[in-house]
Structure formats: C-alpha cells, structure tokens
Amino acid sequence: MSKVTVVGSGNVGATVAQYVAEKDVADVVLIDIIDGMPQGKSLDLMEAAPVHGHDRKIFGTNNYADTKGSDVVVITAGIARKPGMSRDDLLKTNAGIVQGVAREALKNSPDAIFIVVTNPLDVMTYLTWQTTKLPAERVIGMAGVLDSARFQTFIGMELNMSVQDVRAMVLGGHGDLMVPVPRYSTVNGIPITELMPKDRVEALCKRTREGGAEIVSLLKSGSAFYAPGTSVVQMVEAILKDQNRLLPCAVLANGQYGLKDVYVGLPTVIGRSGVKRIVELKLDKEDQDALKKSADSIREQIDAMNNLLVAV
C-alpha cells in the first residue's frame, strides 16, 4: 500500500492530502508543528471519505515517526512573505524550515522521493537535494505543472475552447522569469501561434508569469492552493503508478540546455524511480536566452541562501 507524507497542513498541504486520497492514489500522513491542526484536518477529510467513496487512510500527526516508510514526501512547510519582510528574510526562514523537514523526513523514509513546493521553489528544491544528499532523480520541485496549467487555462479562455484539448509547456524558474513556450503549446496538436495573433500570445504569457500574484491580489489574504495542490498530485500519481509522464518539473540540470548544477524547470519524464530523463527540446534563441536568464537568477538565489546559512 503506497504511503505519502505531506509536510505542512496549510491550504496547499491539506489540498494535496485531499486529492491524493480522493483519487485513490495512496494513504496519507499529514504532519505539522502546530498541535491539533493536522489531526483536525485529517479527521475532517476522513469523514468525507464515505461521501467520496474511498477507503484511503488520512492520518494527522506532529511526530515524524508516524511518517516512517513513506514512498513520497511532499514538502509544503514554510511561511509566505509578510509586509516588511525582505526576500533575504524569507529565504533564510524557509531555508531553515526546509532543512529541518528534509532531515527528519529522510531519517524515517530513506527510500522516499521528495517533491518540494515551498517557495522560493527552485532554491528550496536545491536545498533539499543538498541536505538529503539523495540522488538528484529523487528530489523534484513542483512548479512547471502548475505554471503550465495556468497557461492552459488562459489559452482555453482566450479561444473559448475546452482546456481538455490544450497542452502547454512552461520552463524555467517559478517566478517572474518563467518561460512559457508558445511553439510547444497546442490545442489538439495545433500550435497556439496559428490560432491567435502574436500580441494575444504575448499577453497570455505575461498573465501566466503573473498568475500567482493575480490570485494573491484578488484574495487580499493568502495565495493559491487548489491548482498548486492538484499539480502536486499529478506528479505523485505519475511516480507511484510509474506512468512515465512528460511534465515540466524543477530538476537538476547536468548539461542539458547548456545549464549545469542548478535546479530549474525542464521537460521531465517521471515515474516510480523519480526523474527518468530530461527531454531536450529545440528552443529558438529567444526562449533559450530566457531560460538561461531564469537559471542564472536561481543560481544567484542559491548563492545568497548559502551565504545566509553559513552566517547562521
């Protein structure tokens, strides 16, 4: 019986637990440092099981011993940036949280595959890999699935066509420098560049880059969690069912696209062993330059994080 641990029982973590159970992917352990929160949310989700018609177990805890033997560990723990908080403050705080989580989770589940969701995502994924010393194939960041889903949504809305026929590809870091790739984004095989004018394509790319901020501005308090949560579950399901899905994920580049020693969003085949291979697409110069710029920005953040951690 597959077992998934979700670290952090906030909106994203609880949504991951909900979808993993409702899709009958695995049993779930929801863990948090806040006493009662994971227990309460897990019990609420268990009480929904008879309505949804599944028998998956969802268990809330504050003790890492309960996570023992997990097949996948999803890290959502961390804080959002607050007013008056610098980016360095956020980086330092979340780095400390993620380091502690990675160490504790690894002790109890040394064979697990780690999926990182905490922001800044690409940097926290690198830190998890650095902390656990696991093969890079077993440490993956979730961002490209979410960013591509947003791009797909906007394409469907723009064309008034079913999103079920839309496929999209967004590469690079999870932030303002992400790289939507229109020529590899299609509606039932037809590139969107043949279905709408260039200015509309560019407008959708811009909206995709700002997709998270758009939701934050609408909510006034908090950030997105339905789409991030279900994006994580698509990755979890691909791994546990060995589906060999081609999904954009934050992975360690080892020469692909001219990039090295940096976690960045690339087209990735994932299955039971984690990352099976990185697919190299033929990018035009503009997209290749944008991808390099995004990766350079991530590398700068990694250097800043390492300096902050050394200073602790």
pLDDT exceeds cutoff 80 at 256: yes
**What is the pLDDT averaged over residues 64-93?**
87
Question: Which residue in 167, 174, 209, 245 is the catalytic one?
Answer: 174
188-210 per-position pLDDT tens digit: 999 999 999 999 999 999 999 99
pLDDT exceeds cutoff 70 at 311: no
What is the model's pTM? 0.96
pLDDT exceeds cutoff 90 at 308: no
**Alpha carbons 181 and 196: distance in angstroms, whole number:** 15
Q: Where in the chain is the domain with CATH 3.90.110.10?
A: 144-306
Has domain 144-306 been given CATH number 3.40.50.970? no
Q: Where in the chain is the domain with CATH 3.40.50.720?
A: 3-141
**What is the pLDDT averaged over residues 273-301?**
96
**Alpha carbons 179 and 288: distance in angstroms, whole number:** 9
Q: Which CATH architecture has domain 3-141?
A: 3-Layer(aba) Sandwich (3.40)
**What SS3 state is found at 190?**
strand
Average pLDDT over the chain, rounded to an integer: 95
pLDDT exceeds cutoff 60 at 312: no
26-67 per-position pLDDT tens digit: 999 999 999 999 999 999 999 999 999 999 999 999 999 999
DSSP for 236-286, written as a single string: HHHHHTT--EEEEEEEEEESGGG-EEEEEEEEEEEETTEEEEE------HH
101-116 per-position pLDDT tens digit: 999 999 999 999 999 9
Residue 174 among the catalytic residues:
yes
Q: How far is CA 31 from CA 13, 35, 37, 120, in A?
A: 9, 10, 9, 21
pLDDT exceeds cutoff 90 at 4: yes
